Structures are given as structure tokens and as C-alpha cells.
Amino acid sequence: MKQIFVLLVCLLWQGLAFAQVDTVQRVQSDRYNSPAQQEKPYVILISADGFRYDYADKYDAQFLKSKRAEGIEAESMLPAFPSKTFPNHYSIVTGLYPASHGLINNYFYDPQRKEHYTMRDRSKVEDGSWYGGTPLWVLAEQQQMVAASFFWVGSEAPIQGILPTYHYQYSEVMPIERRIQTVVDWLNLPAEKRPHLITFYLPEVDHAGHRYGPDAPQTRQAVEELDKHMQLLTEAVANTGLPVNYVFVSDHGMLQVDTENTLPMPAAIDTAKFMVSGGGMVVELHAKDKKAIKPTYRKLKKEAKEYQVYTRKKMPKHLHYSAKDDKYGRVGDILLLSDAPKVFHFSSRPPSPGQHGYDATKVKEMHAVFYAWGPAFKKGIKIETFENVDVYPLIAEILGLPYTFKIDGSRHLIEKVLP
Ligand code: AMP
Ligand code: ZN
Ligand code: ZN
């Protein structure tokens, strides 16, 4: 009897969780491609979250290997610091480093707003005022080119007042077959309503990597399944006969961390004096009173073992995360960066065996993936590692979308991969 009751409660709970997710497509019905944009090619930008730069070879992802051989294969793609999901997805679509676009982490504190942003809070995720820069879909829509998103960080928020013509609220309950069919349906729309830029996002490889670690059989299986889904998507899209280009990326890699000896909250931190945010490999301290910064910094420097301590002003230049880079004033006054494979761990739950967030210039396992193929690209080219902020100018170039504002990305990638 008790078991039946528990089962019923579980089913009801699941049902409620499902009901809270809006799985209906959100459409901006007043959007059309201008006649000039209707002549442009198509780009599907796909992100496989947490797909480490070496996974396709490590786990023999045959379909992806065959596609990269037809087009472009990068040695790896360098994520911005910190190598977390929200900052990096948003860097890829804005060409800006996290401190210049404002999403400096998945969770962070904004001292001016006196508010926390968290990726788990829909009201924040869908509030455009948190997001700087001009995402690719905004750039497209501003130039009368229709864009669609089957998930991407930022795509659910009106940024500069603009949403993609078609998008969905983020949810992990939608079956992949339905998501692929939606992409095909978009590409079968009449030319004036058909999106030329589509973003697509797959979370499963990151989930497996966190839960089981990058070397686990479950992570292999997640990569194999993703490879199959990529094949299904590509074959279904090929039936439309449209000149579609694929840009396959990830946001960061994954490292097996030390879960036995994690780093506790350093004794030098008085939580009455500092707002502490983050954990894992980056801890940010926001002083409630600026006078507390110097003495605490000194104490931490003395105490620090297996982590580095910086003030916002003295953050290493190559991280683009210092006071000078910090456009929205969201970077902490003091930052603690753990040495790989060490992690800070403040909660009572056990730490995940797989994690990411480290400085990718120091930890190769943080590197992301970049493959691209389709009519716009050179064929059978291998290129060196480059920064993910360079993807923005590349996609804007393929779609013929000019812009005059300054970004952090460069045009080097364009010269290497486009004929
Ligand atoms: P992490 O690996 O901790 O950096 O975070 C990855 C998580 O971000 C994934 O597990 C997804 O559940 C979540 N995620 C990705 N895109 C979105 C989105 N648009 N809205 C909310 N959560 C998202
Ligand atoms: Zn991620
Ligand atoms: Zn992750």
C-alpha cells in the first residue's frame, strides 16, 4: 500500500514538473525575410554541451568524424574564462568575452542591481536586461533575416527588445525526434518565413560527464547517442535540398576532479563581510564594505594552498576577467581560482566527479570542439586551436550580416575556413 502511495506521489510530481514546462513554440508572427535575405545560405549552429575537444576520437563518433573530414576540423576551440555553460554559449553568439557581455558565470551577483542571476531562475534567464552584446539572431532579425532557436543561452530573452522569430523555452523533456522534425518543418516553410540561422543545443554529454566523469562508459554512450542524433538531423535536413551549413561546437570540456580532498571555505573569509558566490573552481567575493578587501586578500594570500588568489584589478590579463574588462561591474572584488584537479566544495551533497570551469589555457581538458561543413566551407581542412569569440564573425560572414560595433572576436578564422 505504502509503495503504491509513493509511486502515485512520484507520478503526480513528474506530471507537475512537466506541466510547468512550456513546450509550445513561441513565434513572433510579424517577421519576414526581405527579398535579399531569401537568397542567403543557411546555418545551423549546434552545441553539444560539455563535448570535450577529443571526445569524437576518444569515443569513435563515426558520423561526426566523417563530417569534419568533409569540411573543417579544428584541433580544439578555446573557451573563455570561466569555462562554464552560460558565459561560453553567450560568448559564441556575441563574439564577446564574458566580462564584456555580462554573463560572467552560470550564477553571479550584480552589486549595482543588488541581485543574483542564476541559470535556474526563469525570470532571470528570460529577462533581456541581463544580457549585453548583439547575439547573432538579433543581428539577423535587425537586418530582416528570420532566425530560429531550439535552445541557446539568451534566446528566451528579448535582447535589445528582440527575440528570434521562432524559439522554445528551455526544457529537457522534449524528445529529440520532435526537435529534429521541428528544424525540418522550419526549413520547409515558404521562403519569406524560413529561418536562415538556427541554433540547436544538446545537453546530454555534459550531464553524463558530470555524473560519471569524462572517462566513464556512460559518457561514451552519451557521445555515441549524440553522434546518432547528429546523423538523424543531418539526413532529415538533407531532404529539404537547401544549401545548409553546419557549425558543430561545444562550450567547454570536462575533467575528472579530485572528489576525495576538496577545498573548504578558507578560514580567512568572514561571510559577514563578503557576499560569496560560485564554488567549484572559481569563488567570487563581493565586499559589503570595500575596507575589508585588503586585509582579507592578505590573509588569503598567506593561507592559500592549492588555489590562487587575485583581486579584480590583478586578475591575469589573458583571462579577460579583470576590473578593466568588467563592463557590468559583476566580477568579484577577490577571486579564488582552484588548481586543477582541485575544486572548492561548500555543500553537503557529494561533489560531481566530472567538472569544468578552469582556465582553459592551462587545462587542456577544458578545450571545446569545433567542426564545420557545408557548401560555404573549404573541404578537408585542419586548423589550429582558436578562441570561441571568433565564431561570431564567421557566421555573420557566411550569412552576409554586416555590423559596425566592436567585438572581442577576430576575422582570423574566416580567412582559414572560407574559400
Ligand atoms: P554547467 O554544466 O553547470 O555549466 O551547466 C549546464 C546546464 O545548463 C545544463 O545542464 C542545462 O540544464 C543548463 N541549460 C542550458 N541551456 C539552458 C537554458 N537556455 N536555460 C536554462 N538552463 C539551461
Ligand atoms: Zn556546459
Ligand atoms: Zn557542465
Q: Name the grid cell of 217.
A: 562508459
**Separation CA 189–CA 186 (nearest Å):** 5
Å from CA of 263 to ligand 2 middle: 22
All domains of the chain, ordered by start, with CATH?
26-96+133-256+361-417 (3.40.720.10), 274-355 (3.30.1360.180)
**Atom 1, ligand 1: residue with shortest CA distance:** 85
Burial 185-209, CB ≥16 within 10 A → b, else e: ebbeeeeeebbbbbbbbbbbbbbbb
Q: pLDDT truncated to tens, each residue of the chain (419 aa)?
A: 445 454 444 444 444 444 456 789 999 999 999 999 999 999 999 999 999 999 999 999 999 999 999 999 999 999 999 999 999 999 999 999 999 999 999 999 999 999 999 999 999 999 999 999 999 999 999 999 999 999 999 999 999 999 999 999 999 999 999 999 999 999 999 999 999 999 999 999 999 999 999 999 999 999 999 999 999 999 999 999 999 999 999 999 999 999 999 999 999 999 999 999 999 999 999 999 999 999 999 999 999 999 999 999 999 999 999 999 999 999 999 999 999 999 999 999 999 999 999 999 999 999 999 999 999 999 999 999 999 999 999 999 999 999 999 999 999 999 999 99
What are the C-alpha distances in Å from 241 to residues 30, 187, 193, 199, 245?
27, 10, 17, 19, 12
Å from CA of 84 to ligand 2 middle: 6
CB of 137 closer than 6 angstroms to any ligand 1 atom: no
CB of 84 closer than 6 angstroms to any ligand 1 atom: yes
The residue written with cell numbers 573552481 in the block is 281
For the chain, the distance separating the N- and C-terminal CA atoms, rounded to the nearest angstrom, is: 69
- pLDDT of 10 reads 43
Q: Name the closest ligand to CA 167.
A: 1
**Separation CA 383–CA 145 (nearest Å):** 30
